[in-house]
Amino acid sequence: MNKVAIVTGASRGIGAATALRLASDGFDVCVNYLNNEQAANAVVENIRSMGQKAIAVKADVAKENDVKRLFEIVDKDIGTLNTLVNNAGILLPQSRLVDMNEERINKLLTTNVTGYFLCCKEAIKRMSTLYGGHGGTIINVSSAASRLGSAGEYIDYAASKGAIDTLTIGLSKEVSPEEIRVNCVRPGLIYTDMHRDGGEPGRVDRLKHELPMQRGGKAEEVAAAIAWLASNESSYTTGSFIEVSGGR
């Protein structure tokens, strides 16, 4: 049986690197994206050049009907889901909490938290032995911000990732008897375009000297941790966290 993965937010950054890494490990991959169709299709073509199946599916993970459609397309076009990588998320311009408004807070939490919950729900329906599935793995991408708080910059983003940490712990216990493992990776300062979304493209270089390793990380280094959690080598690991944060 082919290994099949959905990677949300996979048109760029950590998501794209993860999709490519899983393909190199023998997975057929659904590349989920929201806006950048051209970038998503480029990832798909790269995966197909490795000899694996790949499709790009536009879906807003914060919307339940979009999520249902995403998973149904994978059922039809690729096959039985084995692995979900919850990666899609947004970062809004740096701000102190006192300057945040309702619209900003709800927009960020809906994408970064509700989206993970909805995708987990659909994955469980396909993986759980209670629903006739054969088990699987869910890997949530959180952030070192959940531990550090991101004061003065992204408290809302940090709080959303704190919710993902709790989701990982609770869900791992809930579905472990159903042959589903749920784990989490916490990236730190990684060179991705997300920092541009926050208004400071050079943020990693500004802060890297505060890290014990004195450098920013690469998306491929995060993808390697995700790939291990998706593999049989982590078969006795659930409810766990891998820090990919340069020692901070």
Angle at 116 between CA 79 and CA 120, to 5 degrees: 45
Q: Are 113 and 89 in contact (CB under 8 A)?
A: no
Return the SS3 of 60.
coil
15 CB neighbour count, 10 Å cutoff: 29
Please write the tens of the pLDDT for every residue from 194-220. 777 777 888 888 989 998 999 999 999
Q: Domains of the chain by range and CATH?
A: 3-244 (3.40.50.720)
Q: What gap in Å lies between CA 58 and CA 40, rounded to an integer? A: 9
- Please tell me whether the overall predicted TM-score, pTM, comes out greater than 0.85 for this model: yes
Q: Which of 131, 157, 191, 236 is catalytic?
A: 157
89 CB neighbour count, 10 Å cutoff: 24
- Residue 199: predicted pLDDT: 75
Report the b/e string of 179-198 with b at 16+ CB within 10 A.
ebbbbbbbbbbbbbebbeeb
Integer angstrom CA distances of residue 114 from 15, 97, 221: 18, 21, 26
The yes-or-no answer on residue 157 being catalytic is: yes
Note down pLDDT in tens along the chain; length 248 residues: 689 999 999 999 999 999 999 999 999 999 999 999 999 999 999 999 999 999 999 999 999 999 999 999 999 999 999 999 999 999 999 999 999 999 999 999 999 999 999 999 999 999 999 999 999 999 999 999 999 999 999 999 999 999 999 999 999 999 999 999 999 999 999 998 877 777 788 888 898 999 899 999 999 999 999 999 999 999 999 999 999 999 98
Please write the tens of the pLDDT for every residue from 11-44. 999 999 999 999 999 999 999 999 999 999 999 9
